[in-house]
Structure 1
Amino acid sequence: MADLPILMFSVLIMCGNLLVIISIIYFKQLHTPTNYLILSLAVADLLVGVVVLPFSMILSVSSYWQLENLLYRYYAVCQPLRYKTKINVRVVVIMILVSWTVSIGIGVTILGPKQGHNRRCALFQNTHSTITGAVFAFYLPAIIMSIIYLKILMVAWRQARSIQNTTKTGATVSKTERKATKTLAIVMGVFLICWTPFFLCITIHPLRNYTIPVPVIETFKWLGWSNSVFNPCVYAFFYSWFRSAFRMIITGKIFRGE
């Protein structure tokens, strides 16, 4: 019975992210550079449900996909006239490959075999590698994301003010900017809320001579994993095209030709 919650959580993660993956692959309208990044993130989250949860492993690299989406939103706001020429499928593919390579490297570094402390989880066997892994897997991307978001917020606010002062459509554009900025804030906020407690815990744990109770670490680990459930909602359910695609998949309309 103890395995039932893990199984249900795993199925929930897999179903949500499979909807995102199938939608982007099947519908040509969703074949855009930004959605390819969402596809990459959905694949990573799917692996959490397929591999990580069943085998009780630790996944600590999802921040890189969050950072990609934030960088492209930054380019779209701060360099709008050059966005479509600079951010193309080739650039997106390269960024995705770099993200997966860096993520795998960090994962191997954190979870690789260590000497000593045989009864402890490999994640905590070496204080230096644990803290270094946390810095590069979470803290550094989180700081960069926060700085970029503040820049986006400032530029979007200035653009909205400028448009309001020069055109009659200022209210509409301002509303669009606010919605996009709010969506980005939700994306970042959910990610940071889910993963910050766990990474703070694993950073402090070796420094306090492993005195943090295991149930506390496990609770924060589950909170981090829950980000893989929220991502399909945050990235997809905010957009009408994804909602329509989900309905077509769930109701089986994609098997009816047109």
Structure 2
Amino acid sequence: MNSSNMWNPQNLQYCFDFVSGACPKKIRSLASLSALYMIMLGAIILTMGGNLVVIISISHFKQLHSPTNFLLLSLATTDFLLGFLVMPYSMVRSIDSCWYFGDWFCTFHTCSDIMLCTTSIFHLCFISVDRYYAVCQPLHYISKITIPVIVVFLFISWSVPCFFAFGLVLSELNTDGIQDFVASISCIGFCSLIFNKTWGVLASLIAFFIPGTVMVGIYVHIFTVAKKQARKTDRVPAASLSETKKISVKKESKAAKTLSIVMGVFILCWLPFFVLTITDPFINFSTPEDLYNAFLWLGYFNSTFNPIIYGLFYPWFRKAFKIILTGMIFSPDSSTLNVFAKT
């Protein structure tokens, strides 16, 4: 997305040798290069591996073919594609400040980056809607969250970000009024999306603040309802008060922990990047490039954490992971195994 290119004029190396107009290359120490590659490669491997386990589990085991899990399957597909199509090339660009993959792929990469990150956030928003009905309206959950409803959720989650990302980049609305600035920093090996003031705000609202606010609002409501239900459960005859109270306290504690992790990780990962996206045009694009890249990768990490948050909290995920890891998935009729059974 948006990035400033503040080059150090000393000891310049260039992205392409013997090419006039090539971009300066970022000079880093061996220790810095090693650390960055280890962190970013680790994130890429975990993102692809973790989400691939979710994809295989839900696709393979028939017991997991439910409306809710189809939403998780689509989220995992989105995050896997981000790890496969976007993060490896962003890694090279972030470390070297160079784009080696051509102008066409730069456009495709930029569109995919915006689309998949936004799609992932939209999925998280709709998962919060699913959790709302599961916790707050459990009697109506089966009738409300059906396969057709999930199809609508998925259609919105994919189509709106796709139209937004490709429409914005290909129309170049984001550079309206700042063409001279973009021309002044452009060079051979440059690939970064620059937002003007208007689209810095609008893009952040569409991709993060609106779905994020909906998501956080729903989870706060879920937590409030869960606490009220726990308190009502406490109002029981004295004979059974002690055991019931233990159960209610346990449920309330688990709900608080789960929701705090969901909201905390989501906000921690994406808020800094989108605040920067809004503010950078208003401070004349003076954000240090490494700071921008740090916030961008923090956002990517949300796709790394998603299979942990939305996978490891489910007991079936641990069972399915064990079956895959031990090779039992290749046995006949493994798709009919009971992944909800305790082991």
Tell me, yes or no, whether TM beats 0.5.
Answer: yes
Match of 1:28 among 56, 62, 70: 62
Q: Secondary structure at the match of 2:139?
A: coil
Provide the rounded CA distance (Å) in 2 between the counterparts of 1:225 and 1:15: 15
* Greater relative CO (CA pairs within 8 A, separation 6+): 2
Q: CA deviation at 1:67?
A: 0.6
Provide the rounded CA distance (Å) in 2 between the counterparts of 1:23 and 1:102: 27
Match of 1:250 among 321, 325, 331: 325
Question: Does the 8 Å CA contact 2:129/2:218 hold for their aligned counterparts?
Answer: yes
Q: CA deviation at 1:113?
A: 4.9
Match of 1:19 among 48, 53, 59: 53
> Does residue 84 of the first structure (1) align with residue 142 of the second (2)?
yes
Q: CA deviation at 1:110?
A: 4.4
Match of 2:76 among 42, 55, 74: 42
Aligned to 2:156: 98
Residue by residue over 1:22-44, the C-alpha shift from the partner in whole angstroms, topping out at 9 and shown as x without a partner, is: 00011122112221111111011
For residue 219 of structure 1, what is the amino acid of its counterpart? Answer: A
Question: Does the 8 Å CA contact 2:136/2:222 hold for their aligned counterparts?
Answer: yes
Match of 1:212 among 284, 287, 293: 287
Question: Does the 8 Å CA contact 1:33/1:92 hold for their aligned counterparts?
Answer: yes
Aligned to 1:159: 229
Q: CA deviation at 1:226?
A: 1.0
Match of 2:197 among 100, 124, 127: 127
Provide the rounded CA distance (Å) in 1 between the counterparts of 2:275 and 2:191: 17
Q: Secondary structure at the match of 1:226?
A: helix
Aligned to 1:221: 296
Q: Secondary structure at the match of 1:130?
A: helix
Normalising by structure 2, what TM-score?
0.70
Normalising by structure 1, what TM-score?
0.91
Alignment of 1:154-233 (within 5 A): 154-166=224-236, 168=240, 169-233=244-308
Provide the rounded CA distance (Å) in 2 between the counterparts of 1:234 and 1:181: 14
> Does residue 55 of the first structure (1) align with residue 89 of the second (2)?
yes
Match of 1:74 among 119, 123, 132: 132
Question: Does the 8 Å CA contact 1:109/1:129 hold for their aligned counterparts?
Answer: no
Percent identity reads 41
Q: CA deviation at 1:150?
A: 1.7
Aligned to 2:98: none
Moved more, 40-49 or 142-151: 142-151
Q: CA deviation at 1:173?
A: 4.3
- Change in Cα spacing, 1:125 to 1:240, as seen in structure 2 (3 Å) is closer
Q: Secondary structure at the match of 1:53?
A: helix
- Change in Cα spacing, 1:54 to 1:110, as seen in structure 2 (3 Å) is farther
Q: CA deviation at 1:54?
A: 2.8
Question: Does the 8 Å CA contact 1:106/1:137 hold for their aligned counterparts?
Answer: no
Q: CA deviation at 1:247?
A: 1.1
> Does residue 147 of the first structure (1) align with residue 217 of the second (2)?
yes
Q: Secondary structure at the match of 1:124?
A: coil
Q: CA deviation at 1:101?
A: 0.8
Gaps of 5+ in 2: 1-29, 91-109, 335-343
Residue by residue over 1:55-82, the C-alpha shift from the partner in whole angstroms, topping out at 9 and shown as x without a partner, is: 3243431221111111111122222211
For residue 165 of structure 1, what is the amino acid of its counterpart? Answer: R
Question: Does the 8 Å CA contact 1:123/1:130 hold for their aligned counterparts?
Answer: no
Detail structure 1 runs of 4+ shifted over 6 Å in the superposition: none
Q: CA deviation at 1:121?
A: 5.5
Provide the rounded CA distance (Å) in 2 between the counterparts of 1:121 and 1:113: 16
- Change in Cα spacing, 1:9 to 1:154, as seen in structure 2 (3 Å) is closer
- Equivalenced residue count is 258
Q: CA deviation at 1:106?
A: 2.5
- Change in Cα spacing, 1:181 to 1:160, as seen in structure 2 (3 Å) is same
Q: CA deviation at 1:161?
A: 0.8
Provide the rounded CA distance (Å) in 2 between the counterparts of 1:125 and 1:147: 28
For residue 87 of structure 1, what is the amino acid of its counterpart? Answer: I
Provide the rounded CA distance (Å) in 2 between the counterparts of 1:153 and 1:220: 29
